[in-house]
Structure 1
Amino acid sequence: MSATYQADFNLWIDKTAKLLREHRWQEIDLEHLIAEVEDLGKSERRAIISQLIRLLLHLLKWQYQPQRRSDSWLDSITDARTQIELAIQDSPSLKSYPIEQLKESYQKARRQAAKQTGMIISVFPEGCPYSLELVLDEDWLPEASE
């Protein structure tokens, strides 16, 4: 089974699922199965971080470039909030993960905002100016900055 994992991942998944359904435990490529299950958890966490960065980026752009506000920014903000909410609904144990990642995610969003807007990074606050509660609140948008 290990050779199949290397050569054809989709075939390996199909065979592994079949072996699990048939309770053929001894034939399962346990090493790779464990790695894949662990990667599923990493993938969920990565998805939350990615959406949080995207959300913070667009909130910063919304606040610091009010003249450029667009429906696509609003759509991005709404979608990122929805994706985070859905990920937490699927895995309630990740409920505290966004707050754990807020500081680091904000720093990444801040750097991206500076690049995308052409503004110097010091224009954006060094620390996240928004609470997680506001960031995830579907009815909240930051006010324009002078």
Structure 2
Amino acid sequence: MDSNLYERDFYAWANEQAALLRAGKLDAADIAHIAEEIESMGRTEKRELVSRLTVLLLHLLKWRFQPDRRGNSWRLSVEEQRYRIADHLDDNPSLKSKLDEAIESAYRLALIEVERETGMPRRGLPARCPWSFDQMVDDGFWPDA
């Protein structure tokens, strides 16, 4: 096993490690880096959830606070993120235990995006997410004034 392969060619390293694991050659596998990569994959899945929630919250906030600008694009974005969040949680059910934390992070990011996209100051918006997760992902939920 090439000990520098991890730094030089991640793809080759990953394939080599997969082959070693499949062959049951745990003593030859790069266990420390394998563990690090698995943990990194878990963090990536959580970031994906936060990202999807951010986009959903962005459009729900714009829907609520800019009713005169509501359009098909915002509606479709909300619908898309609801589907993607549901699929992501189906694929990663243990992330449900991280929903409160993910929503808090996503809401902070959504507030920044709302201000960037609309010019509305954040101080005029709710400081904390005004909706429950169940409301956010409910196909029938559309926040009105």
Amino acid at match of 1:5: Y
Residues 1:76 and 2:77 are matched in the alignment: yes
* Structure 1 residue aligned with 2:56: 55
| SS of residue paired to 2:4 | helix
For 1:89-113, what per-residue CA distance to the aligned partner results, in whole angstroms no more than 9, with x for missing partners? 1122111322232233212211211
Length, aligned pairs only? 144
* Structure 1 residue aligned with 2:130: 129
Residues 1:85 and 2:94 are matched in the alignment: no
Structure 1 alignment gaps of length 5 or more? none
What does residue range 1-146 of structure 1 map to in structure 2 within 5 Å?
1-143=2-144, 145=145
Q: How far apart in 2 are the matches of 1:22 and 1:102?
A: 41
Q: How far apart in 2 are the matches of 1:110 and 1:43?
A: 22
For 1:41-69, what per-residue CA distance to the aligned partner results, in whole angstroms no more than 9, with x for missing partners? 11111111111111111100111112222
1:115 is displaced (CA, Å) by 1.7
Percent of counterpart pairs with the same letter?
A: 37
Greater alpha carbon shift after TM alignment, 75-84 vs 31-40: 75-84
Q: How far apart in 1 are the matches of 2:31 and 2:3?
A: 9
Report if aligned partners of 1:53, 1:108 keep a CA contact under 8 Å in 2: yes
Q: How far apart in 2 are the matches of 1:135 and 1:56?
A: 8
Amino acid at match of 1:39: S
> Closer, same or farther in 2 for the Cα pair 1:22/1:61, shift >3 Å?
same
Q: How far apart in 2 are the matches of 1:91 and 1:104?
A: 18
| SS of residue paired to 2:130 | coil
Amino acid at match of 2:135: L
Structure 2 alignment gaps of length 5 or more? none
Report if aligned partners of 1:106, 1:127 keep a CA contact under 8 Å in 2: yes
Q: How far apart in 1 are the matches of 2:61 and 2:143?
A: 8
TM-score by length of 1: 0.90
TM-score by length of 2: 0.91
Q: How far apart in 2 are the matches of 1:26 and 1:4?
A: 17
1:73 is displaced (CA, Å) by 1.5
